[in-house]
Amino acid sequence: MLLAGQALDEVRRQLQRGGDAELKGVMWSLRGNAWNLSDERQEQRKNLWREYTRLGRAMSLRDSLQAIYASLDQQEAEPLLRWWCSWAARSRLLPFRHLAKTIRQHWDGMLAYFDTHLTCAPSEALNGVIQLAKRMARGFKIFIYFRTAAYHRAGKLNLAVPKLV
């Protein structure tokens, strides 16, 4: 969904570069979910949908992908995701065509999400913590020291020396 939001934002930027100055302050009306927006932002979003057909098509693509992600299981989601990818690939919106290509490249992982509802975000976060420990351990000649620093960082251990009274 992050990539779909970025694709929508890219379509908005393309329109803005094309000379549509009215799109300057509408970014927050397009981001996020419609039900989280204020009434004023929802009305602005509807007006944008009507006025700019390319932007309306991009919002439709993003919203329909979000509806697909609300599917409960893989059997229900797979045909919908296939349909969405073909729609996005046929759209004349280059960012969404790229997104459809990305989804097809990671097809098995995308479908696995619907069974487990797990993403790789926790492992990516842990990888960032370990990379930080790696930078901290620069200069250590023995792997044991790096491993200790990684455990210390990943476990959020507080190894401060107690104060003597």
Q: Using a cut of 0.95, tell me whether the model's pTM lies above it.
A: no
pLDDT at 120 over 80: no
Mean pLDDT on 60-78: 87
Per-residue pLDDT of 7-35, as tens digits, reads 888 887 888 787 755 676 777 677 767 77
Per-residue pLDDT of 83-97, as tens digits, reads 999 999 999 899 999
Q: Tell me how far apart the alpha carbons of residues 84 and 100 are, in angstroms, rounded to a whole number.
A: 8
Cα angle value 34/23/7 (rounded, 5°):
60
